[in-house]
């Protein structure tokens, strides 16, 4: 039976990374692309509740078909699965994203959030990002995407798990293989560039640099830096279990009465 694949991401439906993903997997099944109409990078898992969500059908001569959605990546996956597609897909692919989604970027990432939404809806989901913003080697990331899509369609993923894939921006021959990794502990150190517009109003432009926090072995950040394709299984159980005793030890008493 023909597999159904849903492609999304946060760079907008006309982004070259989405086109590369489409080309990479178009013969693996029935492919539909449902992605934001424009740039939605770093919107995280935002959803649209107080506005209508427009979905404009798109169909190109090369077979690329789907919907340009006036919403977030999470909106796209929800809308696709619950309203646009005749049946739920067998696989959600988010990407190929321009720029890495390693370390704490996972929290801000619209790319990862599209895949998270797929997992919430019970569908095996993979986020794929390319580790550079300059001179992207879409062909290499597309080969990775294809291999992983084929594998996940065959063997699935563990429950409640999305696979976060980060591909180094290197020629195929320089890629050293796959490495299973941990999400690196890191944070952004923000710089706010203070500027003035022609009317004299002050505005800020945010820019950040990723800072590594401690080393916890084989992280996604290090793997990409060392030339490996990083595979991180992610789940969103946000309870910090190790911190439970500390909070329990507060023994807070409610004095409402
Ligand atoms: Mn993006």
pLDDT of residue 101: 97
Cα-to-centroid distance, 172 and ligand 1 (Å): 22
pLDDT for the residue numbered 27 = 97
Task: Give the model's confidence band at 208: pLDDT under 50 very low, under 70 low, under 90 confident, else very high.
Answer: confident
How many whole angstroms from 68 Cα to the centroid of ligand 1? 16
Q: What is the whole-number distance in angstroms between the Cα of residue 256 and the centre of ligand 1?
A: 48
Q: Please enumerate in sequence order all residues whose Cβ is within 8 A of that of 112, keeping only pairs 6 or more positions apart, or say none.
A: 94, 101, 106, 127, 162, 164, 234
Q: What are the domain boundaries of the chain?
A: 4-184+216-248
Ligand 1 centroid from CA 95, angstroms:
8
Using the mean position of ligand 1's atoms as its centre, give its distance from the Cα of residue 99 in Å.
7
Q: Ligand 1 centroid to 98 CA: how many Å?
A: 6
Instruction: State the pLDDT at residue 108.
Output: 95
Q: Kindly report the CA angle at 236 between 121 and 26, in degrees rounded to 5?
A: 45
pLDDT confidence of residue 71: 97
Residue 256 pLDDT > 90, yes or no? no
Task: Convert the pLDDT of each residue in 23-80 to its tens digit.
Answer: 999 999 999 999 999 999 999 999 999 999 999 999 999 999 999 999 999 999 999 9
pLDDT of the residue at 143 = 98
Residue 217 predicted with pLDDT over 90: no
At residue 257, the pLDDT reads: 77
Q: Which CATH number applies to 4-184+216-248?
A: 3.40.1210.10
Q: So what's the pLDDT on residue 55? A: 98
Neighbours of 132 (CB within 10 A): 16
* Ligand 1 centre distance from Cα of residue 158 (Å): 25
Compare 222 and 216 and report the one with higher pLDDT: 222
Give the rounded percent of residues in the chain with a pLDDT score beyond 90. 92
Mean local confidence (pLDDT), 8-22: 97
CA-based nearest residue to 236, from 45, 99, 7, 93: 45
Q: Per-residue pLDDT tens for 158-205?
A: 999 999 999 999 999 999 999 999 999 888 899 999 999 999 999 999
Picking from 148, 169, 138, the residue whose alpha carbon sits closest to that of residue 19 is 138
Rounded to the nearest whole angstrom, what is the distance from the C-alpha of residue 24 to the centroid of ligand 1? 18
Give the distance (Å) from ligand 1 centre to CA of residue 29.
25
């Amino acid at each position: 039976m023909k597999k159904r694949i849903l492609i999304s991401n946060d760079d907008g439906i006309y982004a070259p990374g989405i086109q590369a993903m489409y080309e990479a997997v178009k013969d693996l099944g029935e492919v539909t692309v449902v992605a934001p109409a424009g740039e939605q990078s770093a919107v995280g898992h935002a959803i649209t509740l107080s506005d209508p969500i427009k979905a404009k059908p798109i169909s190109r001569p090369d077979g690329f078909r789907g919907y340009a959605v006036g919403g977030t990546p999470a909106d796209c996956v929800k809308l696709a699965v619950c309203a646009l597609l005749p049946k739920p897909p067998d696989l959600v692919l988010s990407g190929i994203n321009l720029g890495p989604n390693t370390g704490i970027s996972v929290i801000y990432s619209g790319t990862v959030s599209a895949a998270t939404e797929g997992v919430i809806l019970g569908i095996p989901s993979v986020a794929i990002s390319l580790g550079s913003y300059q001179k992207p080697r879409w062909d290499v990331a597309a080969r990775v995407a294809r291999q992983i899509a084929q594998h996940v369609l065959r063997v699935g993923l563990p429950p409640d798990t999305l696979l976060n894939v980060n591909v180094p921006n290197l020629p195929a021959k320089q890629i050293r293989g796959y490495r299973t990794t941990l999400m690196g502990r890191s944070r952004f150190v923000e710089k706010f560039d203070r500027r003035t517009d022609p009317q004299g109003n002050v505005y800020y432009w945010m820019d950040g640099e990723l800072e590594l926090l401690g080393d916890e072995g084989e992280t996604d950040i290090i793997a990409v830096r060392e030339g490996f394709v990083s595979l991180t299984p992610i789940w969103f159980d946000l309870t910090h279990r190790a911190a439970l005793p500390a909070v329990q030890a507060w023994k807070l008493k409610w004095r409402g009465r």
